[in-house]
Amino acid sequence: MAANKDRASLFLAKYLAGLDESELEKRLATKPDLPYQRLPRNHKLTDEAVQARWDVLELDDTAQQQILDPQTKAQMQIYKKNIENFIGTIKLPIGLAGPLRVNGLFAQGDYNIPLATSEAALVASYNRGAQLITKAGGCTAILLNEGVSRAPGFAFKNVHDAGRFSMWAISSQEKFTDIAEQTTAHGQLVDMRITVEGNHVYLIFEYSTGDAGGQNMVTIATDSVVAYIIENTPVNPEYHFVEANLSGDKKASAQSFLSVRGKKVTTEIHLSKELIKKMLHTTPEKMVDYWRMSAMGGVLSGTIGVQGHYANGLAALYIACGQDAACVAESAVGVTRFEVNKDGGLYAAVTMPNLIVGTVGGGTGLPSQRACLEIMGLAGAGHAQAFAEVTASVALAGELSIIGALAAGHFTRAHKNLARGAEKA
């Protein structure tokens, strides 16, 4: 990735000032003989093992008391399937946004949304958007599709062998499905696509994952299928991998944007111009003007999709509710659309194809995270589809609020008042 030569020169000159060649070489050289303090090899979650890790850190007791507080210490066995080298828990403030009324295929009712964040003004913004939606009677949300993918890759001597393997894989899809389903009571292999690139073959397996986010589920299932392939293929690959980076896992990609990865949801609402004036202090026309300019800005900057700040609400909701926070990288992809409707009000829609969410498994069973799901009435089995519809509706609330603030000229003022108060940062 290129950098402007003048800026690069100024940057290097600033940070290298006062260092001669020998000092610079010494600073940047590898130091394999320099001793270091190893972490204890005992990965078990016992009082002794936890304390041994703290002893390596050589800090005063204050830091340990903040991270390994009495409640965390009493509950620490709960975390043993979710963490390695445990030393405690981190605390984030949780705020409520809502109520958010959702009229969905699966989500029905008013939801108070727990958001865990250290960013001031975020909860206030989503709260305003949620109340706006609720005052209008709620948004309509529809789960459109589901599927979590894993894409093993196989390398062959030549394209001829790759083609023979591909034909065999197509004829074996039913067997692959049987093997995958033996590894899980909740997942199912529902589709397989093939991509051939020279002598490389990618098998894109798509699974339904029930109420789980499903990342580990599909990895374990795919590993079993790959083991069967290696034992039975008529054309042996020279090498292979259980994931060859074609699934879109934890990264924004055009592939998942155009299809689905996780759960695909669309949500919409019509807002009267009177309600927008009362709650957002602007007009539908002004909001559409902003949306139009921001959409072009997204195109010019090369973003995948068109949206304002999905990642804000998703990260806060995912952390609060025990989701895999790294999945925000792919979940925060989608399209926001604003139009002036025939009545002079605002039509707003959000479509998100990559919501990796679940209500069982992963971090959803941890004490605080389970409690946050319970706040919404979405804890445990049977609620993942409703949770996906609520999640997209949260994103809609955030889009309405932030674009309303920008259109009204209140965006900077809100952050200044809530994040900084009277003091300058």
25 Cα distance to chain centroid = 41
Name the burial class of residue 424, with classes exposed (0-12), middle (13-18) and buried (19+) by CB atoms within 10 angstroms of its CB: exposed
The helix/strand/coil state of 304 is coil
122-135 and 384-408 are packed helices; what angle lies between their axes, rounded to 10 degrees? 100
Catalytic residue among 270, 309, 410, 415: 415
Query: Which of 54, 56, 81 is CA-nearest to residue 68?
Result: 54
Catalytic residue among 309, 324, 339, 410: 324
Tell the residue number behind the tokens 């946004």, with chain if given.
Answer: 97
Structure tokens at 48: 């002794």
Name the burial class of residue 394, with classes exposed (0-12), middle (13-18) and buried (19+) by CB atoms within 10 angstroms of its CB: buried
What 8-state DSSP symbol labels residue 418?
A: I
Q: Is 110 a catalytic residue?
A: no
Structure tokens at 389: 């519809």
Q: Is 119 a catalytic residue?
A: yes
Name the burial class of residue 285, with classes exposed (0-12), middle (13-18) and buried (19+) by CB atoms within 10 angstroms of its CB: middle
Structure tokens at 251: 């990264």
Contact in structure between 243 and 218 (CB atoms under 8 Å): no
Q: Is 191 a catalytic residue?
A: no
Q: Which residues, including other chains, have CB under 8 Å from residue 385's CB and lie 6 or more apart?
A: 105, 106, 143, 146, 263
User: Phi and psi dihedrals of 271, rounded to 5?
Assistant: -120, 130
Query: Which of 83, 22, 16 is CA-nearest to residue 49?
Result: 83
Catalytic residue among 119, 181, 285, 289: 119
- CA dihedral sign of residues 186, 143, 246, 216: negative
Catalytic machinery residues: 119, 324, 415
